[in-house]
Structure 1
Amino acid sequence: MFGYILEESFIQFPKVITSVEISKRLGISYGSARLLKQRIQVFSSHQVEVLRKLYYNDLKDTFKDVTLPKVEEEKDIKKHLGKKLYRKIPHLDTCVLYSASQRSNLFRKRFRHGGLTASIYQSDSVGGNQVGILTSTIATQNGCVFFDSVPDQKANTLGTLIRKTVPYESPLFSDEGYPWLWGIYKKHRSINHTAHSKEKRYKFARNRWSKLSVHNQVAEGNQRLLKSAFSAYNYVKPKNSQLYLNELSFIKSIKAIGMDRLVSAQRDGFVPNVSRI
């Protein structure tokens, strides 16, 4: 049953298989279907760490001798690198799933948190609990994607995830929500989504989404896929969110890397083998 459900997850991706669907397909109780779903999620969580290490080493080998033009030169990065290398650049972004509405706060405003974190926490007057899910996304065009559940957007939180996924040698694209990356990743480039137009007729600039081939639309596109997949669930608790995110990350990434490479990497000792489920 495990192999059948895992294969079906690959076939109908990006749609996810819920516990109710597993119960109907296999003719088993909902409790048994939920345990099978959890088993797939735990299996995916183990494999995601293996894929993350393969992804890290691939980026390190690909960009170890690659340089980017300086920001002051205002040169197009895509023309400088070429299409083949340009498509391998990782993109960063964050998004919110199941945001906390004012109704969940008994119509009280949230004064403590700002930005995206204001959408996932209740007001302190009603407990201040985390209701929504804040997701960090690291993705490559037609390649691997890694979704991680985070409590905030601070450097100590996001920096740890970025450091173990993207090597220092690799270029990195994001929006301006990561100003602390400039001193760590020398090849980091960001796009200003709130850039204003120089003409008074317009409020925002035309190049606020992509400038000199710098953008984070790959991460944003994967977040759209993530939201579509999570629409199949009524609600996911924040404490269980990483299991659901790992399941989606594994299926998306294994389609890009291939199961054969994952198995051969473990057999050759390139990455440590994971425990059996």
Structure 2
Amino acid sequence: MKKRIQVMYTQLNETLKAQLYKELEEKTKDFRLPKEGDLKKALKNQPVAVADSVVLYSSSLRANKHRSRRYKGGTASIYLSNSLGGEQKGTLVHTVGINGGMTFYKSIPLNNQHYLEKDLNEKIPKTVTLFTDEGYNFLWDRPNHRSVNHSKKSNDARYNLSRERWCTKEGVSSNGAEARNNILKQSFRSYGFLSCKWGQLALDEISFIGNVRFVPELKNLLSLGDSRNVGFGDYHYSRPLEQNRPLYHVYTPLTVQERGRLRHHKLINQYKEQDIAKYNKSYRSAILHNDYYWKNFYQKDRMKNEIEYNRRAYQIYSNLELGKWNDTDSIANSLNLSKREILFIL
């Protein structure tokens, strides 16, 4: 019965997520954050999204037969040691929420760009203001994304860390996501332990219970407050039968081999072969050459350089003003980069 109720919450939560996406898209379609200065005035009537990840139910040393819990190249403690099969025991959760609004949780197998970016694109439009920590620097195509450095050092010799590691002078802070993760951990303590197989259903339950208060019509309907015709609607309507079963919403963890493939090929294009065939010859050749290199000649130093240039390209993209001419001299001065380097990236 518990899982049947969770399935109902999951289906209702999907409707809320779709409706919220449409509202955010309409409200922020022409919005652009200023390049510098205090952001509080610009965000006075704008929604602000926050995102972060958290681990629930880490695998213990005893469960690992006192082997190291560290999974190389991935999340630290939700997997058993590879010598024991590498099975996923804990639950890794990606939290996406709107400050003063709804929150949605997603159970993901790895804390990397592929899963984090995919979850963000499903829940919030790219024009929404997004505050995160510096683990999301790969989001180069979100012009209103700002991050806070949780490890920022203090300029004062008397202190080790700066107080700006929680909230910058411009007003950037991801404390909203940190607070939601704290509530999530407190809620899951009542389970003692929950298998990752059923983790997504439990996350959707907690998410929906928290989101109901932001939808007065749905709140009145569930509590039978102002609704007089409950049960007199189209009672023949129902979702497809398989979507009403708990097994339809089961979370399937990745195997050791699947995690290994995702670990090494971060810079391979995610195009389908039929899509590549539609592009012009030079573009198609560049894509295939790039993929061949990363599949066959993996080099750690080269990947570090690629990540660094991606970060600089993200900075340049964020400083470009849409619909206006942008000169490289002003961009070079504001970002402290050389003009030749900016032209090369462009």
What TM bracket, shorter-length normalisation?
Answer: 0.7 to 0.9
| Aligned residue number for residue 33 of structure 2 | 68
* 2:50 maps to 1:77: no
| Aligned residue number for residue 101 of structure 1 | 60
Q: State the Cα RMSD in Å.
A: 2.1
Distance 1:148 1:168, change over 3 A: same
What stretches of structure 1 of length at least 5 have no aligned partner? 1-35, 264-272
Contact 1:144–1:257 (8 Å) recurs in 2: no
| Aligned residue number for residue 110 of structure 2 | 152
Give the letter for the 2:149 counterpart.
N
Query: In structure 2, how many angstroms separate the alpha carbons of the residues matched to 1:274 and 1:160?
Result: 29
* 2:8 maps to 1:50: no
Cα deviation, residue 79, structure 1: 2.4
Q: Bigger CA drift: 147-156 or 98-107?
A: 98-107
Contact 1:91–1:218 (8 Å) recurs in 2: yes
| Aligned residue number for residue 185 of structure 1 | 142
Query: In structure 1, how many angstroms separate the alpha carbons of the residues matched to 2:14 and 2:84?
Result: 37
Cα deviation, residue 147, structure 1: 0.6
Query: In structure 2, how many angstroms separate the alpha carbons of the residues matched to 1:259 and 1:107?
Result: 52
Per-residue CA deviations over 1:122-144 (Å, capped at 9, x if unaligned) read: 11122211111000000112210
Which aligned pairs between 1:1-277 and structure 2 lie closer than 5 A?
36-70=1-35, 73=36, 75-82=37-44, 84-85=45-46, 88-113=47-72, 117-181=75-139, 183-211=140-168, 212-260=170-218, 275=239
Per-residue CA deviations over 1:174-200 (Å, capped at 9, x if unaligned) read: 11111111x121111011000011122
Give the letter for the 2:5 counterpart.
I
Give the letter for the 1:128 counterpart.
G
Contact 2:212–2:218 (8 Å) recurs in 1: no
Q: Which has the higher contact order (CA 8 A, sep 6+)?
A: 1
Cα deviation, residue 248, structure 1: 0.7
Give the letter for the 1:189 counterpart.
R
Query: In structure 2, how many angstroms separate the alpha carbons of the residues matched to 1:207 and 1:216?
Result: 12
- State the secondary structure of the residue aligned to 1:244: helix
Give the letter for the 1:96 counterpart.
V
Cα deviation, residue 219, structure 1: 1.0
Q: Aligned pair count?
A: 226
Give the letter for the 1:94 counterpart.
S
- State the secondary structure of the residue aligned to 1:80: coil
Per-residue CA deviations over 1:209-241 (Å, capped at 9, x if unaligned) read: 011211111111111111111111021111110
Distance 1:274 1:174, change over 3 A: farther
Per-residue CA deviations over 1:10-58 (Å, capped at 9, x if unaligned) read: xxxxxxxxxxxxxxxxxxxxxxxxxx11111000111111111111112
Query: In structure 1, how many angstroms separate the alpha carbons of the residues matched to 2:181 and 2:94?
Result: 9
What stretches of structure 2 of length at least 5 have no aligned partner? 222-236, 245-346
Query: In structure 1, how many angstroms separate the alpha carbons of the residues matched to 2:87 and 2:43?
Result: 46
Query: In structure 1, how many angstroms separate the alpha carbons of the residues matched to 2:162 and 2:191?
Result: 38
Query: In structure 2, how many angstroms separate the alpha carbons of the residues matched to 1:167 and 1:262?
Result: 29
Q: Bigger CA drift: 231-240 or 249-258?
A: 249-258
What's the % identity of the aligned pairs? 37
- State the secondary structure of the residue aligned to 1:102: coil
Query: In structure 2, how many angstroms separate the alpha carbons of the residues matched to 1:162 and 1:105?
Result: 33
Query: In structure 2, how many angstroms separate the alpha carbons of the residues matched to 1:137 and 1:199?
Result: 34
Q: Bigger CA drift: 48-57 or 102-111?
A: 102-111
- State the secondary structure of the residue aligned to 1:96: strand
Give the letter for the 1:195 counterpart.
K
Query: In structure 2, how many angstroms separate the alpha carbons of the residues matched to 1:89 and 1:274?
Result: 35
